Chains A and B, each alone.
Chain A
């Protein structure tokens, strides 16, 4: 086998516009792909069936008289269509995915193997308890890890994702307040440094939301928060580490003040991956916190799989946690549900889901935990933080880093658009990153930073991988500071150029309609 040791690579076309057009519109391995409705034809079908012998009038008025309107494709046409589309996409399996706040990290293949074991994968949620003791043991063991890692009292495994977990936590707080006869507490305080879903959750659960300002160094204004506490406040929702990628150092002070005022502390644990094995939220006075298994514990998300958001509770909130849950007895595991909850769980606020949660994610998360061990999980957090700080310090000379002077960041590095040339903005930097082969970072969030660029490399990336990303972003940032007009029209090398997001939002076309001429010809 010949190895190319010179590093020579064939030149890529710089601009599609300068290249001669091809007959097909394809450009070698970059294949154009129409909509499935435009490929398909009502005359084609993947499988040939004999015409059904319907009894005359058997369907009465229900017999279909018009074409069904589905595209007809053969199997290879269908497979090719979706494979071609997937080649125009980007995924964590293709390269670094620097979205901050979304934590796109590698999904270990061992997780997938375990999740596909028939004993787990083929279970029906209504399987009798004595026939699924292994699956219940997985739930119980994962629950034990989550409670131990967070230093909390109990866990509700059923919530299906982060925001669902937030709702679960707030409903438990509401049930606890009602049980105390303090249902009149109707306000939830949410700092500006919290996740955007927090105020939505509070409002959805029927609470009035009040913002608490952030300090210039990106943390919650502790004095303002404590000053606002009172008999109308039900809870405070804090994201820690927060959306500025910073640890809320005053967490214990805040929790003590909140408890003294008779309210509860909800912690958004979406960023737990930055502190797992280092900090136990239970020690910080947290009453409820959701854990995104699809972030901290590496189960797929972002279109790759469902989320899963178990919620850990303090002793004060545990009696109000939702059903069902798994209990270990001398005879094995049993499910505690409405019929079996009895008096020892009479305070439960109800259910979040029909069944037991995302079983497929539980097997993956437990595999991740057991394959890393306690020391490995601690290193996950340390590496994630180290990587984010490496990005922050490597780029702070070319991009404005508003919180860099305040010390190290946690899992994500944040930059603002200060210093970019007049007319060049964050979105131009993001679009130019596509040309460099990277998914853009999170843009314009958090809102407290002007033109925010939020980057979370995660522990997945090696130093070499980070260096390549840093090199790409540095080059784009230098062009942005110099006012390179080419940035305004980026991406240049993607399957599609800059999309008109304004038109897409103002006049969205969500339904394919058969072109008029074709419809007429078909009649």
Chain B
């Protein structure tokens, strides 16, 4: 399994053709306490860069973009009652949604962990 990152601070874990998407530790730190997450419905077709989810903190509401194209398998239902999971474990239990990748070649345009760390250090 490998993990990729976007410049918009999403991460995606890929296992076969299944991807799990969330926002990064850096992103949750910037947003502050998260109070609401809207995840995409099962079966929704997403193109790379589409608005896939909404995350709202006490400071701001932000769109979460799909790092790759694919079809949503499930949204993280636990976030409906416990949006704070994103603050507590952004890159683990605070995942947003899973999807079936339609074009795994799109992953080549994303960053690996080291590159993302370097990207964040310059912000």
> How long is the Cα–Cα vector from A506 to B58 in the complex, in angstroms?
10
B84 within 8 A of A: yes
B13 within 8 A of A: no
The reply to whether A444 and B35 contact each other, CB–CB distance below 8 Å, is: no
How big is the B interface, by class? under 10
A85 within 8 A of B: no
The reply to whether B58 and A505 contact each other, CB–CB distance below 8 Å, is: yes
B116 within 8 A of A: no
The reply to whether A506 and B59 contact each other, CB–CB distance below 8 Å, is: no
A89 within 8 A of B: no
The reply to whether A501 and B60 contact each other, CB–CB distance below 8 Å, is: no
The reply to whether A447 and B36 contact each other, CB–CB distance below 8 Å, is: no
Report the nearest B residue to A447, measured CB to CB: B60
CB A504 to nearest CB in B, in angstroms, measures 9
> How long is the Cα–Cα vector from A443 to B32 in the complex, in angstroms?
14
Interface size of A by CB at 8 A reads 8
B33 within 8 A of A: yes
The reply to whether B60 and A506 contact each other, CB–CB distance below 8 Å, is: no
A502 within 8 A of B: yes
B67 within 8 A of A: no
Give the chain A neighbours of B36 by CB distance below 8 A: 505-506
**Complex partner residue of B35 from A427, A443, A447, A502, CB under 8 angstroms:** A502
CB A1 to nearest CB in B, in angstroms, measures 49
**Complex partner residue of A444 from B33, B60, B83, B84, CB under 8 angstroms:** B60
Give the chain B neighbours of A505 by CB distance below 8 A: 33, 35-36, 56, 58
> How long is the Cα–Cα vector from A443 to B33 in the complex, in angstroms?
16
> How long is the Cα–Cα vector from A266 to B15 in the complex, in angstroms?
48
**Complex partner residue of B83 from A443, A447, A506, CB under 8 angstroms:** A506
What is the interface of chain B mostly: helix, strand, loop, or mixed? loop
Report the nearest A residue to B82, measured CB to CB: A506
> How long is the Cα–Cα vector from A444 to B60 in the complex, in angstroms?
8
CB A427 to nearest CB in B, in angstroms, measures 8
Give the chain B neighbours of A501 by CB distance below 8 A: 33, 58
Give the chain B neighbours of A443 by CB distance below 8 A: 59
CB B42 to nearest CB in A, in angstroms, measures 24
> How long is the Cα–Cα vector from A501 to B36 in the complex, in angstroms?
13
What 0/1 pattern do residues 399 to 437 of A give for CB contact below 8 A with B? Answer: 000000000000000000000000000010000000000
Report the nearest B residue to A501, measured CB to CB: B58
Q: By CB atoms of chain B within 10 A, which of A427, A447, A505 has the most?
A: A505
Give the chain B neighbours of A447 by CB distance below 8 A: 60
> How long is the Cα–Cα vector from A185 to B33 in the complex, in angstroms?
40
> How long is the Cα–Cα vector from A501 to B33 in the complex, in angstroms?
9
Give the chain A neighbours of B58 by CB distance below 8 A: 501-502, 505
CB A153 to nearest CB in B, in angstroms, measures 37
CB B123 to nearest CB in A, in angstroms, measures 9
CB B88 to nearest CB in A, in angstroms, measures 13
CB B43 to nearest CB in A, in angstroms, measures 22
CB B12 to nearest CB in A, in angstroms, measures 23
CB B9 to nearest CB in A, in angstroms, measures 14
Contact residues of B between 11 and 51, Cβ < 8 Å to A: 33, 35-36
Give the chain B neighbours of A427 by CB distance below 8 A: 59
Report the nearest A residue to B33, measured CB to CB: A502
Contact residues of A between 182 and 227, Cβ < 8 Å to B: none
Contact residues of B between 79 and 104, Cβ < 8 Å to A: 83-84
CB B121 to nearest CB in A, in angstroms, measures 16
Give the chain B neighbours of A502 by CB distance below 8 A: 33, 35, 58, 84
CB B57 to nearest CB in A, in angstroms, measures 8
Give the chain A neighbours of B33 by CB distance below 8 A: 501-502, 505
CB A340 to nearest CB in B, in angstroms, measures 45
What 0/1 pattern do residues 486 to 513 of A give for CB contact below 8 A with B? Answer: 0000000000000001100110000000
Give the chain A neighbours of B83 by CB distance below 8 A: 506
> How long is the Cα–Cα vector from A39 to B33 in the complex, in angstroms?
35
> How long is the Cα–Cα vector from A383 to B33 in the complex, in angstroms?
39
> How long is the Cα–Cα vector from A443 to B59 in the complex, in angstroms?
8
Give the chain A neighbours of B84 by CB distance below 8 A: 502, 506
> How long is the Cα–Cα vector from A447 to B63 in the complex, in angstroms?
13
CB A84 to nearest CB in B, in angstroms, measures 28
Report the nearest A residue to B30, measured CB to CB: A450
> How long is the Cα–Cα vector from A443 to B58 in the complex, in angstroms?
11
Report the nearest A residue to B62, measured CB to CB: A447
CB B85 to nearest CB in A, in angstroms, measures 12
A-B pairs with lowest CB-CB distance, top 5:
A505-B35, A502-B33, A501-B58, A444-B59, A506-B35
In the complex, given contacts A501-B33, A506-B35, what are 11 additional A-B residue pairs having Cβ atoms less than 8 angstroms apart? A427-B59, A447-B60, A502-B33, A502-B35, A502-B58, A502-B84, A505-B35, A505-B36, A505-B58, A506-B36, A506-B84
9 A-B residue pairs with CB within 8 Å: A427-B59, A443-B59, A501-B58, A502-B33, A502-B35, A502-B58, A502-B84, A506-B36, A506-B84
